[in-house]
Structure 1
Amino acid sequence: MTTHGGMSAPDAYFDSLEGRLVSDGCVTQRQDWSGTCVLVGRRSDFRMRWVATRLDLFTIAAVVPEITAAGLSAFTEESLRYAKAAKGGRPLGMQAGIGAFPVLISDKVDPAAAEWARARQRVAFACMARPVVVDLSCRSVSTYRGKPGLGRLYASYFIQKSTQYFDLAASGSSH
């Protein structure tokens, strides 16, 4: 699958995602994670309504040949490890938390991976992750968009950011 400019749809989406992150005030960088180019976007927000908490939001994306539930689970865990190591500042739980969007982009997706992403938010102590599957073969984005018990204060923020960052209509990618 290619776009009109000759770039693959997953690569075009990856580039457009970086543009949306930068437009929202995220600091971005590309890193090599074991031979895979990974886009890391980061921003930090403080809200009194979050019980005076600062949330560091990491968006970590990669284009992969195929997305499976096991691969998405492993990428989610690796993304949270990275975010915890990179966060700095106040210790987690001391008016500080981490939010993460681990994002895999492909034009070959196992339906079980999309279902795994939609099923629930993944929660660890002072860390929340909402895995995202971008399936460009059927132009769909799968992620949890609910309001869970743990982390409910941040739910509308996650929903707003996921719509802003991952909406295919805003990405400009086509096939």
Structure 2
Amino acid sequence: MGTNTYLSKVYSKLKKDGFELKKDKINSFDVTVAMKKEFKLSWLATQMNFFIIIGVSKNVKKETIENFSKNCMDYAIKNNKGLPRGIQAGVVSFALLISSKVDETAKKFTQARPKKHFAAFEMPIIFDLKENKIYYYDKNPIWGFIYYKTFRNFIERYFK
């Protein structure tokens, strides 16, 4: 699958479900940012602000996805609107990098437990165009366990 085909597919799903999409720049990456707020009683009556940040890279190494994910998390926290984090509100940053050349260490990084943040979740994701496969953390940690099923379902629905 080509980059443009994959992006069109992802953007279409996001728009259909009411996400606002905009173009922006995060460090050296031209990105598309999709945002939406969701509230669920099953999250202990918490509002979660979703930030989906999508970039394209010629090749992805561990450092590439690690830095991209960190910068996306910083962007999400900085641009978070509404209730302050921690007061029945949280932020999740889905940092999706798309590439046809992905290093094994980068794949392993996305499959490892993401870094912890106060009332915020960092979810690094890679879509490998060559393998037509998505790489992400698919476990359910104790910290944040009530959210991770939703995160995994979200990734499978929009990015696969």
Distance in 2 (CA, whole Å) between partners of 1:46 and 1:144 is 23
Identity %: 28
Give TM-score scaled by structure 1 length. 0.87
Tell me, what secondary structure is at the counterpart of 1:115?
A: helix
2:68 paired residue number: 75
Distance in 1 (CA, whole Å) between partners of 2:70 and 2:150 is 22
2:15 paired residue number: 22
Q: Does the 8 Å CA contact 1:121/1:148 hold for their aligned counterparts? A: no
What runs of 5+ residues in structure 1 fail to find an aligned partner?
4-8, 168-175
Deviations 1:126-171 (A, max 9, x none): 011111111111111100111111110111110110111111xxxx
Say what the alpha-carbon RMSD is for the aligned residues: 1.3
Aligned residues: 160
Q: Does the 8 Å CA contact 1:100/1:130 hold for their aligned counterparts? A: yes
Bigger CA radius of gyration: 1
Distance in 2 (CA, whole Å) between partners of 1:125 and 1:160 is 22
What runs of 5+ residues in structure 2 fail to find an aligned partner?
none
Q: Kindly indicate whether residue 82 of structure 2 is the aligned counterpart of residue 104 of structure 1.
A: no
Tell me, what secondary structure is at the counterpart of 1:58?
A: strand
Q: Does the 8 Å CA contact 1:60/1:100 hold for their aligned counterparts? A: yes
Q: Kindly indicate whether residue 117 of structure 2 is the aligned counterpart of residue 124 of structure 1.
A: yes
1:49 paired residue number: 42
Give TM-score scaled by structure 2 length. 0.94
